A = this chain, B = another copy of it.
């Protein structure tokens, strides 16, 4: 099949090399760095997805996920896709056809929820704030007073802006008018408090590659009894088969009914990552993220750089810093990667070319990494 080799892009003379990837310092918006014991777990030989040993692992993973979500929700599982798949699971299962949905948009991932909610036929109403701002409970209340919604969706930690949305009163407002609250905790879970049960969040999802410091590929999600009842009473079939929680819950529940083959290795990694969080302790972990963020903020401001989000609602897990005038965005980041082996990210959507995004999440959140980053920033900015 020599003729095929050329046209497929395969080089028939040079064998493909083994993987020799560089060991980067990952300080972007994810993936974050992964603890060696999680990497080790990813490399263990596989068992089957119905093996008694794997079923035990699933039970333990669910218990540990409940710990991290701070919830007693029985239906707390990893979706077999990335955080975006978990977002779509939330939307596909809970946005009702032709019913009013309110989405709060103050960044890229709020827009993504609008996009998804529309695909699933929700009558989407949007309230907006500038990218980097947050919503007040009153704003949500006013919007719902005008037009009640079955589902309200909001981003807890906007990965595109670095703003942290307080949720305390919003759940009650949503419940009082007869709806449920979906919360995107992709960049907060395991790094800053989410308090799912205490606040009364109905559907909360995240990704593994941020503050859980597990490779991307799974999307943890938790469903409140209130939301689960709505799911059980759905009249129409969920218009997405792979993410249909009425099917997926039978594999994770007592029935163990085959739905799709669970990503075994990814679940090994998740279990080990959660175990590390449990050993560190959630509160201790939040404190670590806060302390390292403070170190970063102080260092950046000492350098004369401006942070995009006011401190009172600034995420400790992801910092947006304004790109100084005259510094070329892409070239700066390329040099940071090439010379210092450090990855950060540019802005997304409206903030493209305006900010850099620096993540200090999970295993990446260490004072050593902050020191390295600040040193590299100083050096590069002095010579650009």
Which residues in A have some Cβ–Cβ distance to B below 8 Å?
Answer: 1, 4-5, 7-10, 15-16, 18-19, 21-24, 26, 28, 30-31, 33-34, 37, 39-54, 57, 59-60, 62-64, 66-67, 70-72, 80-85, 88, 112, 115-116, 119-120, 197, 207, 209, 215-217, 237-243, 258-266, 268-269, 271-272, 275, 278-279, 282, 337, 343, 345, 348
A10 touches B63 (CB 8 A): yes
A7 touches B47 (CB 8 A): no
Q: A85-B242, A209-B261, A217-B80 are known contacts. Are A63 and B9 too (CB-CB below 8 A)?
A: yes
Q: What residues of B have a CB within 8 angstroms of the CB of A50 in the complex? A: 345
A47 touches B66 (CB 8 A): no
Partner of A42, one of B63, B64, B265: B265
A242 touches B46 (CB 8 A): no
Q: Please measure, in the bound complex, the distance between the C-alpha atom of A358 and the C-alpha atom of B28, giving whole angstroms.
A: 45
Question: Of A23, A42, A72, A119, which is in contact with the most chain B CB atoms at under 10 Å from its CB?
Answer: A42
Q: Please measure, in the bound complex, the distance between the C-alpha atom of A30 and the C-alpha atom of B239, giving whole angstroms.
A: 27
A16 touches B275 (CB 8 A): yes
Copies of this protein chain in the complex: 2
B48 touches A28 (CB 8 A): yes
Question: Of A7, A39, A43, A44, which is in contact with the most chain B CB atoms at under 10 Å from its CB?
Answer: A43
Question: Of A41, A82, A115, A272, which is in contact with the most chain B CB atoms at under 10 Å from its CB?
Answer: A82
Q: Please measure, in the bound complex, the distance between the C-alpha atom of A323 and the C-alpha atom of B81, giving whole angstroms.
A: 36
Q: What residues of B have a CB within 8 angstroms of the CB of A16 in the complex? A: 60, 64, 271, 275, 278
Q: Please measure, in the bound complex, the distance between the C-alpha atom of A82 and the C-alpha atom of B66, giving whole angstroms.
A: 25
Q: A21-B268, A242-B88 are known contacts. Are A263 and B82 too (CB-CB below 8 A)?
A: yes
Partner of A216, one of B22, B49, B85, B272: B49
B261 touches A72 (CB 8 A): no
A265 touches B116 (CB 8 A): no
Q: A9-B66, A264-B31, A275-B16 are known contacts. Are A81 and B83 too (CB-CB below 8 A)?
A: no
Q: What residues of B have a CB within 8 angstroms of the CB of A15 in the complex? A: 278-279
Q: Please measure, in the bound complex, the distance between the C-alpha atom of A22 and the C-alpha atom of B268, giving whole angstroms.
A: 13
Q: What residues of B have a CB within 8 angstroms of the CB of A24 in the complex? A: 45-48, 51
With A1-B282, A265-B265 already in contact, 6 other A-B pairs whose C-beta atoms are closer than 8 Å: A15-B278, A24-B48, A40-B43, A46-B215, A47-B343, A50-B345
